[in-house]
């Protein structure tokens, strides 16, 4: 799989990320937005299908998506 694009979920770009084909809904937990990724589009479902603020959404050339969590500092 080849990476096509990478999008940082900032929490302020809700309209942009909601329009992505992988996002099925946006939920709010503890005051923070979370993205729920469609199980048919995610690479490693059901292990990880919720994106939090600060995560990267990665689209691959086969149409699948992945959520990359930031490395702990």
pLDDT single digits (tens) 18-67: 999 999 999 999 999 999 999 888 887 666 789 999 999 999 999 999 99
d(CA 35, CA 49): 8
- Can you give the pTM of this predicted structure? 0.86
Where would I find the H helices in 1-73? 14-18
Q: What pLDDT, on the 0 to 100 scale, is given for residue 39?
A: 86
d(CA 26, CA 54): 15
Q: What pLDDT, on the 0 to 100 scale, is given for residue 51?
A: 93
Q: What pLDDT, on the 0 to 100 scale, is given for residue 13?
A: 87
Q: What pLDDT, on the 0 to 100 scale, is given for residue 66?
A: 93
Average the pLDDT over 7-19 and give the result.
92
């Amino acid at each position: 799989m080849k990476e096509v694009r990478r999008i940082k979920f900032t929490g302020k770009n809700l309209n942009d990320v909601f329009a992505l084909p992988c996002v099925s809904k946006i939920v709010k937990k503890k005051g923070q937005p979370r993205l729920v990724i469609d199980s048919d589009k995610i690479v490693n479902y059901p292990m990880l299908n919720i994106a939090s603020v600060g995560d990267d959404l990665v689209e691959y050339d086969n149409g699948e998506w992945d959520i990359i969590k930031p490395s702990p500092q």
